[in-house]
């Protein structure tokens, strides 16, 4: 009986594991991927700017060069989960490229308009 119960509890957990593509697709749904500057303007106006980081060999901030910019961004970071240098498929590569381009444009705008 206990063996069956343990198996029943473990199987649903395996079914819930999402691929990097699914995770990144969900992250990008929340963003206006074609208009990162518009998102940045909205967030600055609401006093909720952030800097997006992506994952590659390590975590980094696209569009940000230099220690000062990175130091600023670390305090308002939002990591785009599902980005990686371990590409799962052509779709994943496309989504990672979209996320990186969005993050670069958004981050540059926020950094150039910081107070």
What does 80-108 look like in DSSP terms, one character per residue?
Answer: -TT--SS--SHHHHHHHHHHHHHHHHHHH
Of 50, 54, 52, 51, nearest to 20 (Cα)? 54
What is the span of the domain harbouring residue 36? 19-112
In a domain, 66, yes or no: yes
Q: Residues 60-109: pLDDT tens digits?
A: 999 998 888 888 998 999 999 999 999 999 999 999 999 999 999 999 99
pLDDT of residue 63: 95
User: Measured between alpha carbons, how far is 54 from 73 in angstroms, rounded to an integer?
Assistant: 12
pTM metric for this prediction: 0.82
Residue 57 lies inside a defined structural domain of this protein: yes
Question: What is the signed CA dihedral for 106, 108, 110, 111, rounded to 10 degrees?
Answer: 160
- Residue 4 domain-assigned (yes or no): no
Rounded Cα distance, 74 and 91, in Å: 29
- Number of structural domains found in the chain: 1
Q: For residue 12, is pLDDT > 70?
A: no
Is residue 49 a part of any domain in this protein?
yes
Domain presence at residue 5: no
pLDDT for res 49: 96
Q: Is residue 14 part of a domain?
A: no
pLDDT digit string (tens) for 24-59? 999 999 999 999 999 999 999 999 999 999 999 899
């Amino acid at each position: 009986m206990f063996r069956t119960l343990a198996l029943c509890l473990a199987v649903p957990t395996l079914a819930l594991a999402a691929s990097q593509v699914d995770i990144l697709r969900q992250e990008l749904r929340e963003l206006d991927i074609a208009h990162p500057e518009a998102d940045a303007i909205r967030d600055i106006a609401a006093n909720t700017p952030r800097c997006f980081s992506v994952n590659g060999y390590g975590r980094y901030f696209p569009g940000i060069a230099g220690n000062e910019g990175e130091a600023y961004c670390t305090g308002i970071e939002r990591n785009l989960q599902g980005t990686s240098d371990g590409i799962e498929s052509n779709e994943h590569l496309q989504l990672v490229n979209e996320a990186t381009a969005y993050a670069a444009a958004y981050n540059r705008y926020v950094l150039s308009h910081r107070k």
